[in-house]
A and B are shown apart, each in its own frame.
Chain A
């Protein structure tokens, strides 16, 4: 994986929450067209990493580069203009705005590209009928769809997805993840954070595991065994003799 072909590059990122070190010298390289998944247990630092890449947190050290451009000190809205969009944990829709208005706000600084409000309605047909409804009245899964639509409408080059499955029924989660291939064919590179390892390994072309802020494993899902992933996820040293009978 040469650095030249990386669309999104994170280089030695360290992030602190006050005195707590949440992300410890993490690096990753996402090539165009990839679906890159970051997995790890609660508190591993995944969301903090994503939020820092999006610009909501200031990194203590390290760099974030989008297509070679250093975005490390850029504000979140500037990063969006450069082509980096985050769908935050918990959806974070504008509750008092309608579905359509949420999408329109998403298009405020949209770049040129295949996605516009009409295209989002094609992707999610049910939205057309509900577009005048307040976002707060939608179900969790519907809100997640609107949140993704709101980010897509800006035509990002890299879409950051933070814990899509949180708080949603498995059926709903699957439906949302079924979208991802379509995004990839439309030219969007995806970097997602997911607690559900199975879901992540099913959709991702590349997986990286975090534990207590540091990278414990990375590679293509096909190349990694279940035991390797488990060990990296839980941080258990694999010592077969010590396993209790």
Chain B
């Protein structure tokens, strides 16, 4: 039965991964770039929450209400300034710039906060769970996060397909030059996409920070898992990202069942297997070119 529990825990973890991944997927879909600092943004969000909580007098569990909008704005600004400047050169430069920013961010955090782990303490809320059977434990928090992931992804999908701004984002993603010709300032649209991406990954970082510890060096793991979720699920599909996150989570939990040291490796193996056998991913539409 512990195998079943492993699968269930994997599904729940998938919620976290999907939340991390949707921003990465969106940015790539709209701008064709990978933000290598994506995972670090989540970590920074965690630290910002840690710093702001005493000031806002909000219960810790509501800290995202303050932090997420800050990151949305920050994302817009960063996109319109630094990232647009590097995009104007080429995607190659953007990769290197985001990688550089990632390294700078991690080391700056190390200088500011030391390498010890931190977490966002929501008290006893984290411990509530119900046990359908003796071997299976469902944490309410994780279930909530999974629910949030579904809602976020669904909302994003609806936003893109039904709203005017969403339509503009899709148009810019298809052909930004043609979008300019019909009066769309694509840089502004890129900023909006970045704002959404930063907001979702900040939310993911806070959720994750409540669930486990985070440290300045936690960024890369976030990035790798988000990335693996996107590739497994299929580049270009938002719902694919959710499925990919769940598959990754399950793979990791099953690996952990075999040997706790194999958890992350199991995920890597499944990722590499998908690359080998079905590079498009489960629901992939576009190639990654």
Residue-wise, chain B 163-203 has the 8 Å CB interface mask toward A (1 for contact) of: 01001101101110111111111000000000000000000
Beta-carbon contact of A80 and B164 below 8 Å: no
The CA of A85 and the CA of B184, in the complex, are separated in Å by 12
The CA of A55 and the CA of B180, in the complex, are separated in Å by 9
Beta-carbon contact of B174 and A95 below 8 Å: yes
Interface size class of chain B, counting residues whose CB lies under 8 Å from the partner chain = 10 to 19
**Residue of B168, B175, B182, B184 touching A151 (CB-CB under 8 A):** B182
**Residue of B167, B171, B173, B183 touching A109 (CB-CB under 8 A):** B183
Beta-carbon contact of B183 and A77 below 8 Å: yes
The answer to whether A190 has its CB under 8 Å from any CB of chain B is no
Beta-carbon contact of A75 and B185 below 8 Å: yes
Q: With A92-B175, A92-B177, A94-B174 as given contacts, are A106 and B167 in contact (CB-CB < 8 Å)?
A: no
Give A48 Cβ to nearest chain B Cβ, in Å: 14
Beta-carbon contact of B174 and A97 below 8 Å: yes
Number of A-B contacts (CB under 8 A): 73
Interface size class of chain A, counting residues whose CB lies under 8 Å from the partner chain = 20 to 34
The CA of A97 and the CA of B162, in the complex, are separated in Å by 11
**Residue of A102, A104, A154 touching B183 (CB-CB under 8 A):** A154
Give B239 Cβ to nearest chain A Cβ, in Å: 16
The answer to whether A88 has its CB under 8 Å from any CB of chain B is yes
Beta-carbon contact of B178 and A94 below 8 Å: yes
Contacts of A154 in B (CB 8 A): 182-183
- Which of A126-163 touch B at CB < 8 Å? 150-151, 154
Contacts of A150 in B (CB 8 A): 182
Beta-carbon contact of A104 and B182 below 8 Å: no
Residue-wise, chain A 49-87 has the 8 Å CB interface mask toward B (1 for contact) of: 000001110000000000000000001110011000110
Contacts of A108 in B (CB 8 A): 164, 168, 182-184
Chain A CB count within 10 A is highest, among B164, B170, B181, for: B181
The CA of A200 and the CA of B26, in the complex, are separated in Å by 44
The CA of A92 and the CA of B168, in the complex, are separated in Å by 15
The CA of A93 and the CA of B179, in the complex, are separated in Å by 9
The answer to whether A180 has its CB under 8 Å from any CB of chain B is no
Give B3 Cβ to nearest chain A Cβ, in Å: 41
Contacts of B182 in A (CB 8 A): 77, 80, 85, 105-106, 108-109, 150-151, 154
The CA of A102 and the CA of B184, in the complex, are separated in Å by 13
Give B98 Cβ to nearest chain A Cβ, in Å: 26
Beta-carbon contact of A105 and B175 below 8 Å: no
Contacts of B171 in A (CB 8 A): 94, 97, 101-102, 105
The CA of A88 and the CA of B185, in the complex, are separated in Å by 17
Q: With A95-B174, A96-B174 as given contacts, are A105 and B179 in contact (CB-CB < 8 Å)?
A: yes
Beta-carbon contact of A97 and B170 below 8 Å: yes
The CA of A92 and the CA of B171, in the complex, are separated in Å by 11
Contacts of A110 in B (CB 8 A): 183
Give B126 Cβ to nearest chain A Cβ, in Å: 41
Beta-carbon contact of A105 and B167 below 8 Å: yes
Beta-carbon contact of A94 and B170 below 8 Å: yes
Chain A CB count within 10 A is highest, among B170, B171, B185, for: B171
Beta-carbon contact of B180 and A77 below 8 Å: yes
The CA of A150 and the CA of B184, in the complex, are separated in Å by 13
Beta-carbon contact of B181 and A76 below 8 Å: yes
Give A119 Cβ to nearest chain B Cβ, in Å: 16
Give A92 Cβ to nearest chain B Cβ, in Å: 4
Beta-carbon contact of A97 and B167 below 8 Å: yes
Contacts of A106 in B (CB 8 A): 182
**Residue of B164, B173, B181 touching A88 (CB-CB under 8 A):** B181
Beta-carbon contact of A54 and B181 below 8 Å: yes
The CA of A93 and the CA of B171, in the complex, are separated in Å by 9
Give B181 Cβ to nearest chain A Cβ, in Å: 5
Contacts of B183 in A (CB 8 A): 77, 80-81, 108-110, 154
Contacts of A93 in B (CB 8 A): 175, 178
The CA of A154 and the CA of B183, in the complex, are separated in Å by 9
Beta-carbon contact of A101 and B167 below 8 Å: yes
Interface CB pairs A-B, < 8 A, 15: A55-B180, A76-B180, A77-B183, A77-B184, A86-B181, A92-B178, A94-B175, A96-B170, A105-B168, A108-B164, A108-B168, A108-B182, A109-B182, A110-B183, A151-B182
Interface residues of B (CB under 8 A from A): 164, 167-168, 170-171, 173-175, 177-185
Known: A56-B177, A151-B181; 13 extra A-B contacts, CB below 8 A, are: A80-B183, A85-B181, A94-B171, A95-B174, A96-B170, A97-B170, A97-B174, A101-B170, A102-B171, A104-B164, A105-B167, A108-B182, A151-B182
Interface residues of A (CB under 8 A from B): 54-56, 75-77, 80-81, 85-86, 88, 92-97, 101-102, 104-106, 108-110, 150-151, 154
